[in-house]
């Protein structure tokens, strides 16, 4: 039971890698003396989110709490890790301390923070949680390559590439831009699709955007036979897709 005023958990977005993309709000909180917690894939390993803050030069607080979230897909096992992390965070919040959960990218977009937040509030709905918005990897990638994600009334879809090439191909007629995250396992199949549909000119690959190891590839065919980093994405523009007529500034649904 909490005996004092409870602390607040902040989902602190840090952007995809460049410390210069940390927002002013996140920077103020990082320098407030509040404790940090962050996800690690294995006990004793480092955290990519922590690495972003370290490169920013921000001084570390006294309380540093790594939370173990392994890279597994077994939902039953994962639930146990989420619960253990939420209980650990809850104990600190109930002592009256605030905690900052460090998140690469944006805390509300494909983030480990959402799992922690949901589990924590299931344990104690009275706890305060604040999400601090940040720059996403795909918006940073578009900016880095000098290409717009969407113009005027363009449509855009964002999805993990793990949904498969068949899904990507099915979506292409309906969207001007597809953002594919975590493309590493499907890179060869995606290149085949891009070449078959002749979308090479509008496709590009970005890896570890905003870091010293950032890599931009426009000729995606050169990625054949390579192993991209886990932190990679692909953006596909489909300028030749068939569009419906506009009605009062909005697209009419086609028959």
> What CATH code is carried by the domain that includes residue 73?
3.40.1010.10
Asked, for residue 79, whether it belongs to a domain, the answer is yes
Q: Are residues 112 and 143 in the same domain?
A: no
Q: What is the pLDDT of residue 250?
A: 60
What total of structural domains would you count in the chain? 2
Q: Are residues 16 and 65 in the same domain?
A: yes
Asked, for residue 2, whether it belongs to a domain, the answer is no
Sign of CA pseudo-dihedral 181, 111, 136, 14: negative
Asked, for residue 67, whether it belongs to a domain, the answer is yes
Q: Are residues 143 and 126 in the same domain?
A: no
Q: Are residues 36 and 118 in the same domain?
A: yes
Asked, for residue 229, whether it belongs to a domain, the answer is yes
Rounded distance, CA 168 to CA 193, Å? 9
Q: Are residues 16 and 109 in the same domain?
A: yes
Q: Are residues 123 and 39 in the same domain?
A: yes
Asked, for residue 247, whether it belongs to a domain, the answer is no
Asked, for residue 159, whether it belongs to a domain, the answer is yes
Q: Are residues 158 and 49 in the same domain?
A: no
Q: Are residues 146 and 128 in the same domain?
A: no
How does pLDDT run along the chain (255 residues), one tens digit per residue?
A: 555 799 999 999 999 999 999 999 999 999 999 999 999 988 778 899 999 999 999 999 999 999 988 776 777 788 888 899 999 999 999 999 999 999 999 999 999 899 999 999 999 999 999 999 999 999 999 999 999 998 888 899 999 998 999 999 999 999 999 999 999 999 999 999 999 999 999 999 999 999 999 999 999 999 999 999 999 999 999 988 877 666 555 655 554
Q: Domain containing 202 — which CATH number?
A: 3.30.950.10
Asked, for residue 197, whether it belongs to a domain, the answer is yes
Q: Are residues 41 and 142 in the same domain?
A: no
Asked, for residue 3, whether it belongs to a domain, the answer is no
Q: Are residues 79 and 163 in the same domain?
A: no
Q: Are residues 37 and 79 in the same domain?
A: yes
Q: What is the pLDDT of residue 142?
A: 96
What residues make up the domain containing 56?
Answer: 8-132
Q: Are residues 64 and 126 in the same domain?
A: yes
């Amino acid at each position: 039971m909490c005996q004092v005023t409870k602390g607040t958990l902040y989902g602190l977005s840090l952007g995809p890698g460049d410390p210069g993309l940390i927002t002013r709000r996140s920077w103020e909180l990082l320098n407030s003396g509040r404790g940090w917690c962050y996800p690690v894939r294995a006990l004793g390993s480092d955290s990519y989110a922590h690495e972003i803050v370290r490169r920013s030069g921000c001084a570390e607080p006294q309380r540093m709490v790594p939370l173990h979230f392994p890279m597994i897909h077994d939902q039953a096992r994962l639930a146990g890790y989420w619960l253990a992390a939420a209980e650990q965070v809850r104990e600190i919040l109930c002592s009256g301390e605030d905690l900052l959960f460090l998140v690469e990218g944006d805390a509300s977009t494909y983030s480990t923070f959402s799992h922690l937040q949901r589990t924590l509030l299931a344990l104690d709905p009275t706890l305060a949680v604040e999400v601090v918005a940040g720059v996403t990897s795909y918006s940073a990638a578009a900016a880095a390559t000098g290409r717009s994600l969407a113009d005027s009334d363009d449509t855009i879809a964002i999805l993990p590439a793990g949904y498969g090439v068949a899904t990507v191909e099915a979506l292409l007629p309906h969207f001007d831009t597809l953002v594919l995250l975590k493309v590493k396992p499907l890179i060869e199949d995606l290149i085949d699709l891009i070449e078959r549909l002749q979308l090479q000119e509008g496709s590009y690959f970005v890896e570890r955007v905003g870091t010293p190891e950032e890599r931009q590839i426009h000729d995606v065919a050169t990625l054949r036979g390579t192993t991209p980093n886990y932190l990679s994405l692909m953006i596909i523009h489909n300028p030749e897709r068939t569009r419906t007529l506009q009605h009062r500034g909005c697209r009419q649904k086609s028959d």
